[in-house]
Structure 1
């Protein structure tokens, strides 16, 4: 059985199929400034849509830090995405994942495009 840290890191690295078995039926996913998804089905549809959009790009994690407690995990990452035309985008993200009895019950995601010259 995966630990909550492993589940959170799978989510943050877009390995969503590894996360699906741990989604609580009433899970919520708040994409700060964009949307709030309710329930396992909405979260799975959003994850699959994200995978489709990312299918034609590569990704490289420039930063990946995890902080875990007994019932929550925070993943802070900066990812470089490169599309088919070799154009790069840099995204900073922070996911806060909350668990109850091993089930993922709440996700809060903050994302922003960043200038690569400001990264340390």
Structure 2
């Protein structure tokens, strides 16, 4: 997978596809919410988020992808539905930084939730 494909899969909640591309000492910061340090902490959070995604209908839309060297930025929206009713709607931007081994080293996520 390319860096862009890895980043897009992660942003689209296809976490399992990305696990082998996360460095052991990676960090994921969700601004104003949480910080996960180390691959195992990131995977644990991905599994929790993935469980939530399975409990709702998800509609992810990618608006922009910007790639430059070891950085990929993806912004888009996510709509979550249950019983055909909107549970939440999120405007998101994820900034990925890759190391020289093409592994994710840092993720910074900006998520603005609306109803």
Scaled by the length of structure 1, the TM-score of the pair is: 0.89
* Rounded Cα–Cα distance in structure 2 between residues aligned with 1:19 and 1:63: 18
User: Where does residue 118 of structure 1 map in the other structure?
Assistant: none
Aligned length: 113
Q: In the superposition, relative to structure 1, how do residues 62 and 105 fare at CA in structure 2: closer, same or farther (>3 Å)?
A: closer
Deviation of 1:62 after TM superposition, in Å, equals 4.0
Q: In the superposition, relative to structure 1, how do residues 17 and 62 fare at CA in structure 2: closer, same or farther (>3 Å)?
A: closer
User: Where does residue 86 of structure 1 map in the other structure?
Assistant: 84
* Rounded Cα–Cα distance in structure 2 between residues aligned with 1:63 and 1:103: 22
For the pair 1:3 / 2:2, whether they are aligned, the reply is yes
* Rounded Cα–Cα distance in structure 1 between residues aligned with 2:37 and 2:10: 17
Where is the strand percentage greater, Structure 1 or Structure 2? 2
Q: In the superposition, relative to structure 1, how do residues 58 and 73 fare at CA in structure 2: closer, same or farther (>3 Å)?
A: same
Partner deviation per Cα, 1:16-45 (whole Å, 9 max, x = no partner):
011100000000000100111100000000
Uncovered stretches (5+) of structure 1, i.e. residues with no partner: 116-120
Secondary structure of the residue aligned to 2:32 is: coil
Query: Which structure: larger Rg?
Result: 1
Secondary structure of the residue aligned to 2:55 is: coil
Deviation of 1:63 after TM superposition, in Å, equals 4.3
* Rounded Cα–Cα distance in structure 2 between residues aligned with 1:94 and 1:62: 12
Uncovered stretches (5+) of structure 2, i.e. residues with no partner: none
- Runs in 1 of length 4+ with deviation above 2 angstroms? 61-64
* Rounded Cα–Cα distance in structure 2 between residues aligned with 1:68 and 1:93: 17
Q: In the superposition, relative to structure 1, how do residues 31 and 3 fare at CA in structure 2: closer, same or farther (>3 Å)?
A: same
